[in-house]
Amino acid sequence: MGELRKKITELTNIGVPKFFKQNCMDYYNLYKSPDMDVVTPIPVSKMYNGGIYFIYYKDESSWMQLSPILCADIRDKRIIFGINMNFLPLEIRMDLFDDMIIDLENNNKQSNGMTPFHFLNFESAYKKLLRRGFEYAIVEYDISRIVRVFNIKYDDLSTWIYSQHPKNIYDPNKLYQIWAAKLKDRPERHKDLISKLVEDFYNVTDELIDNSTALKGHFKRLQRNQTKFGDKFSK
């Protein structure tokens, strides 16, 4: 058992529902009135690979609008690939971070300030999620549509991963239903994804959508949001 799992096991002695609800409200209040010792507002330009963040984002989905993320990669200074915790059941969140902390220990590395998992990139994050069947939790954020960013301290992982914005109701049954549905077209989605270029995620064309299979719906959503909320880079 990893250290993070041990700590969370101790903290959840009061009961997981109570612990989760308490954390949700604590972080919700911190995002409204930040305590610099816990949650720090930062500019988008200070986001880096391996950082832990909560972001407010312009999107049609509340899971995207209010995103607790682990930053997996930043490409072309336009797109941030982040692991969105809203897509992950609590147990998977804990297992994922516990795994990465063990990686740090096994490689004699230390968490690095505001980017504790600085060794992370899209490929390594994707592989970790792929093993768990949750690779679709890596989502794209157009940098120009990020409204606010809060940096989360590594030392607060044990409470932060057991939280999310109160507007997004945590429903593990729904999350596992999504997981089961995604498994059906997993090979096609993987094949579709690895054939795409980074620019495809910020320059979605009708031709790209027509040539996509398992990601067709995903690219349609990206195109709708680009049309609705704009893209300062294309102006």
The pLDDT mean for the chain works out to 87
Which has more pLDDT, 109 or 6?
A: 6
Going from the C-alpha of 92 to that of each of 12, 55, 162, the distances in angstroms are: 16, 21, 11
Mean pLDDT for 147-153 is: 96
Judgement on whether residues 152 and 226 belong to the same structural domain of the protein: no
| Co-location of 54 and 127 in the same domain | yes
pLDDT of 203: 73
Q: Are residues 204 and 149 in the same domain?
A: no
Model pLDDT, residue 235: 46
pLDDT digits over 47-70, tens only? 999 999 999 999 999 999 999 999
> What is the per-residue pLDDT across 92-109, written as a single tens digit (0 to 9) for each?
999 999 998 887 777 656
pLDDT tier at 114 (50, 70, 90 boundaries)?
low
- Residue 213 lies in domain: 185-235
Q: Is the pLDDT of residue 36 over 80?
A: yes
Q: Does 176 fall in a domain?
A: no
Say yes or no: 7 and 48 in one domain.
yes
Q: Are residues 42 and 131 in the same domain?
A: yes
Same domain, 138 and 189: no
180 found inside a domain:
no
Number of domains the chain contains: 2
Q: Is residue 83 part of a domain?
A: yes
For 92, the token pair is 């998977």
Residue 200 lies inside a defined structural domain of this protein: yes
Does some domain include residue 144?
yes
Claim to verify: residue 56 and residue 144 sit in the same structural domain: yes
Q: What is the pTM of this model?
A: 0.85
Share of the chain above pLDDT 90, in %: 60
Q: Are residues 147 and 223 in the same domain?
A: no
